A and B are shown apart, each in its own frame.
Chain A
Amino acid sequence: MTLNLARLQALRRQSGAPAAAAVATPAPPAAKIDADPLARLRGLLRVKRRDAPAPASAEDRMLPGREIAPGLWLQEARLPFDLPWQPHLDAAFARRDAPLPTSELLFFDTETTGLAGGTGTRAFMIGAATLDPAGLHIRQLTITTTRAEPAMLDLFRGWLRPSTILVSYNGKSYDAPLLKTRYRLMRQAEPLSALDHVDLLHPTRRRYRGVFENCRLGTIERRVLGIVREDDLPGSEAPGAWLDYLRGSSAKQLRRVMAHNHQDVVTLARLAIHLGR
């Protein structure tokens, strides 16, 4: 069978594949062999009604922070802490005998394109925060093109020292393996395996299991730390927000993802301190 795009789409429908949302009428039977598959495709587009993404206006594409490399955005913020500075954090909650040096802690959280796992899932945003006597220093990296991913991974690696202690919420099972996969795919040295990593999910569960309806970060944040978010974008909408931006849509949703990620990292720091008291 000679193959062109229309025939391929027709075959997919016949084998029971759910129709692409845009197809309203079945493609006309491909009777002639068309030398130009693109022309055939344009012909189909005239027939189908496609939901093309609405063209975005220029202002609507603004992201906070600055573009430090093509497609790579960095947003930095400083948050003074209302708690006195402690050079060490008691880590008995994490079943550690020795306290952890506060200045080595790196709180991090990623936003990804899906929960499926496997090599096809990527992080499009990495939020990281460190503590010093002045307060919390938050840095967020966001890629707006897939090509910028190697630069993001490289830069993030630059934030890590051999003595860095990673702190996350479910990061040992999710965020860290995902980043390791991406480092390997980009053929870069993978910096995470060599570092100490404290995952707050398990100690949180040990302390609060059965107390609240679940141990999700949002629930703990509200019930234990008393933090309430306004107009927070649900985590499940994050992949779609980034995809829309990638395809040229408004940056509004993506900014909400950045705000969500920012708060996740801040909450992580507060939770660690709370558990260590």
Chain B
Amino acid sequence: MTQLARLDLEPTQTDVGHLLAPRLARKYPERVTGAFVVPAREGCYVDLPSDLPAPLHGALRTRGRERLYSHQGACWDAVQRGEDVVVVTPTASGKTLCYTLPVVAGAMTRRSKALYLFPTKALAQDQVAELIELSKAGDLGVRAATFDGDTPGDQRQAIRLSGDIVVTNPDMLHQGILPHHTKWAQFLENLAYVVIDEIHAYRGVFGSHLVNVLRRLERICAFYGVRPQFILCSATIGNPKEHAEALIGRPVTAITESGAPAGEKHVLLWNPPVVNPDLGLRASARSQSNRIARMAIKAGLKTLVFAQSRTMVEVLTKYLKDVFDHDPRKPARIRAYRGGYLPTERREAERAMRDGRIDGIVSTSALELGVDIGALDVVVLNGYPGSVSGTWQRFGRAGRRQKPSLGVLVASSDPLDQYIVRHPEFFSDASPEHARIAPDQPVILLDHIRCAAFELPFLKGDTFGPVDPAVYLQLLAEDGVLHPEGGRWEWIAESYPAGAVSLRSVADGNFVVVDRTDGRQVIIAEVDFSSAPLMLYEGAIHMVQSTPFQVERLDWEGRKAYVTRTHVDYYTDAIDYTRLKVLESFNSAVTGVGQVHHGEVHVVRRVSGYKKIRYYTHENIGYGPVTLPDQEMHTTACWWQLPEPVLHSLFDNRQQALDGFLGAAHALHVVARIAVMADGADLQKAVGSGDGAWSATGDGRGRGQLRATDGAAVQADALARFEPTVYLYDNYPGGVGLSEPLFQRQAELLQRAQSLVEACDCRAGCPGCVGPVLDEGVPLTEGPRQLALRLLRALQAA
């Protein structure tokens, strides 16, 4: 990880690129909470390899490449030695050539084949366009094509039979290629390379699925007698080699030193100013991003603004266009870019950016991955993208060789954002997050063993990757899809298993939302199993593309929700309780005066009803009942507890203890999500008793409320025993590997949570530290912040 230095805000150079950061810092000193510089880097070059086929040499020269960067040369050497490789260099460092060279050389010299996996179709198409151009430039005769859901039927056979490089995505490989592998026999028999780009994107549930898809691929390759080499590319994450090895199940050579030259990078952390001190409200991130982008564009610097949502892209674009594009006779200087635009529009926008005709772009994360848009000077992030590595990737879009570039992170009011900008040393010191996967998660493993059995029978003694599949095969035989006979497990069911497995979820019970307005029967949305009770109860208002529908009937067994278009003036919000019970503790430790555990828990979630809330005024205008089955699951968790006598010494009464636990849980959840790079709702928090007798939720004003198993409110003093527990749990049956690292790092989490709460500007509590609090003038020593701090301190070693 490159070292960050403090940015000198009194620059010696006077060109506009060097001046912008200091100008911003001087004009808005309270808003800039951190200023850093990544030093410039010289290029490090090597000659084109001597064993490169001559026409390929020629093709490269025609396109202006006389030499390679050192990392491109190192990759070539490693691949020639037969190693599996991961290239971990920053954006725009020429990673593509690392794999293009060996793949094209192989295709030319021995007609070997390669399979490329890209996360999106747009990237796949770009790749193929590049390869075709390279092949033309040197008359290399290499045939490349995309193969995905959009590939027309009449082209598929030709690609299978004569494609040298097939570019696809994980979903297509899983559903469209592997289950039909005999049609790909000629391709697979000559498969020498598998290239996977952007492997940092394959983490969490998606990554866990991909590992298993690759296990199926390797199994099938073994059937055809081949063992292809893997060439992987990753953005900077904390554990690229480990992650690559976990993905493919083999040792990997990591190439981490980039030989590409890079200009100096300035980075600013920006917190919008407080506009309402009593309530602790800040100005919107949007207003700040708008202002910064305006200044940059006026100074003649090409600027890219990343927004978190499509709506925000449109809003920011409008504001910038009002300033810069008010003359319709002149060509547009500002452009928006997001999913939902037609592919042709996006290609045109990319071209315009590459040609330098655009001065300002506003985009969603759709532009984060490798699409080439030329060089930019300034990147503004409207809101924290959720991870340090994601932040650096987006900043990586700005950078030219001779001039410095600037990246500005503007924080929103989200607790994560506020944490980052208030702890600039966290950002500068932070190693990028580790990517985590749990490929042997039982539900995921079962799905893929089922798919694998469809593709090739299992023989007695076969393994699936490193896993012994015996128990799974037994279960599948019981289910009637496999027939064991003479040491073989043969597929005999009528179904097509890959069709029922989504690579992005751990469930096969997705609900469909069917629009029945005016007698239609149209599927308009899909909701996953665990979200269904929160969104599809009868009476719920469900929004699709901002259009409201009301759920008239929910067919739980059939996994369907029937809705009609509605025009009511309220929206609905489900009231749910989550209760946890400890099943087994795998590992525990003493921490301060309490205990921390890692183990298995039983989670029950019940939706007991819903509130109707009027738009704009946000009044609660009514309630409705919900009678749906409880959702239960076993999963893994990390939890903290204090014994009852210790509680007595720390807190005056049980209500105080409860408020302290709820506040601490909130703060721990914020820092834990950052620590394990958890996506969205993957990691959840809860406060309850260890035996599941009661659970607690905040009432939105800083007071905790206990509920018993039937959902009825209970007074804390009425309980015989009182042993509150803070849980952080994986939100998937069987867990996805988030809890164990939390347990390992628990001391660090407690410490970060403590500093988060201590350093907060609020008085008694706010969503940025312990959760929303209605400050009723409670003495400062007993507000939710202080109670949470008492607990957090007590849990740390004396």
Residues of A within 8 A of B (CB): 1, 3-5, 7-12, 14-18, 20, 29, 31, 37, 41, 113-120, 122, 145-147, 177, 180-181, 184-185, 239, 243, 246-247
Given contacts A20-B479, A117-B180, A184-B185, contact A3 B442 (CB under 8 A): yes
Indicate with 1 or 0, residue by residue over B452-496, a CB within 8 angstroms of chain A CB atoms. 011111000000000000011011001110010110101111111
Instruction: Determine the main DSSP class of B at the interface with A.
Output: mixed
Given contacts A5-B474, A12-B443, A14-B634, contact A120 B508 (CB under 8 A): no
Closest to B468 in A: A3
B538 within 8 A of A: no
Question: Which chain B residues lie closer than 8 Å to A12 at the CB level?
Answer: 443, 446
Q: How far apart sit A118 and B486, CA to CA, in the bound complex (Å)?
A: 23
**Minimum C-beta distance from A242 to chain B (A):** 8
CB pair B633–A181 under 8 Å, yes or no, is: no
CB pair B454–A15 under 8 Å, yes or no, is: no
Question: Which chain B residues lie closer than 8 Å to A9 at the CB level?
Answer: 475
B204 within 8 A of A: no
CB pair A116–B507 under 8 Å, yes or no, is: no
Q: A118-B498, A146-B483 given; name 20 further pairs at CB < 8 Å.
A: A7-B442, A14-B631, A14-B633, A15-B733, A16-B509, A17-B507, A29-B583, A31-B583, A115-B494, A116-B494, A117-B180, A119-B179, A119-B181, A119-B454, A120-B454, A177-B183, A180-B182, A181-B180, A184-B182, A239-B494
CB pair A146–B443 under 8 Å, yes or no, is: no
CB pair A243–B583 under 8 Å, yes or no, is: no
CB pair B633–A15 under 8 Å, yes or no, is: yes
CB pair A14–B180 under 8 Å, yes or no, is: no
Closest to A246 in B: B483
Closest to B530 in A: A16
Most buried by A among B499, B530, B733: B733
CB pair B509–A119 under 8 Å, yes or no, is: no
Question: Which chain A residues lie closer than 8 Å to B313 at the CB level?
Answer: none
Q: How far apart sit A131 and B471, CA to CA, in the bound complex (Å)?
A: 51
CB pair B507–A15 under 8 Å, yes or no, is: yes
Question: Which chain A residues lie closer than 8 Å to B529 at the CB level?
Answer: 15-16
Question: Which chain B residues lie closer than 8 Å to A20 at the CB level?
Answer: 478-479
Q: How far apart sit A92 and B389, CA to CA, in the bound complex (Å)?
A: 68
**Minimum C-beta distance from A45 to chain B (A):** 10
Q: How far apart sit A14 and B453, CA to CA, in the bound complex (Å)?
A: 23
CB pair A11–B733 under 8 Å, yes or no, is: yes
**Minimum C-beta distance from B410 to chain A (A):** 39
Given contacts A17-B509, A29-B583, A119-B455, contact A147 B485 (CB under 8 A): yes
Q: How far apart sit A5 and B480, CA to CA, in the bound complex (Å)?
A: 15
CB pair A185–B182 under 8 Å, yes or no, is: yes
Closest to A38 in B: B474
For the A-B complex, the count of residue pairs with Cβ-Cβ distances under 8 Å equals: 124
B346 within 8 A of A: no
CB pair B182–A16 under 8 Å, yes or no, is: no
Closest to B450 in A: A120
Question: Which chain A residues lie closer than 8 Å to B486 at the CB level?
Answer: 145, 147
Question: Which chain A residues lie closer than 8 Å to B443 at the CB level?
Answer: 11-12, 15
Q: How far apart sit A5 and B475, CA to CA, in the bound complex (Å)?
A: 7
Question: Which chain B residues lie closer than 8 Å to A185 at the CB level?
Answer: 182, 456
Closest to A112 in B: B494
CB pair B634–A15 under 8 Å, yes or no, is: no
**Minimum C-beta distance from B474 to chain A (A):** 6
Q: How far apart sit A31 and B491, CA to CA, in the bound complex (Å)?
A: 33
22 A-B residue pairs with Cβ-Cβ distance under 8 Å, sorted by A, are A1-B735, A8-B475, A11-B634, A11-B733, A11-B734, A16-B508, A17-B509, A18-B509, A29-B634, A114-B494, A118-B179, A119-B180, A119-B454, A120-B179, A120-B497, A145-B485, A147-B488, A181-B183, A184-B185, A243-B492, A246-B483, A247-B483
Q: How far apart sit A115 and B455, CA to CA, in the bound complex (Å)?
A: 15
Give B430-460 interface residues, CB cut-off 8 Å to A: 442-443, 446, 453-457
> Pick the contact of B492 from A8, A146, A147, A177 — CB < 8 Å?
A146
CB pair B735–A37 under 8 Å, yes or no, is: no
Instruction: Report, nearest first, the 7 A-B pairs whose CB atoms are least far apart.
Output: A16-B509, A114-B494, A120-B454, A16-B529, A116-B496, A118-B179, A120-B491
Question: Which chain B residues lie closer than 8 Å to A7 at the CB level?
Answer: 442, 634
Question: Which chain B residues lie closer than 8 Å to A243 at the CB level?
Answer: 480, 492
CB pair B734–A246 under 8 Å, yes or no, is: no
B626 within 8 A of A: no
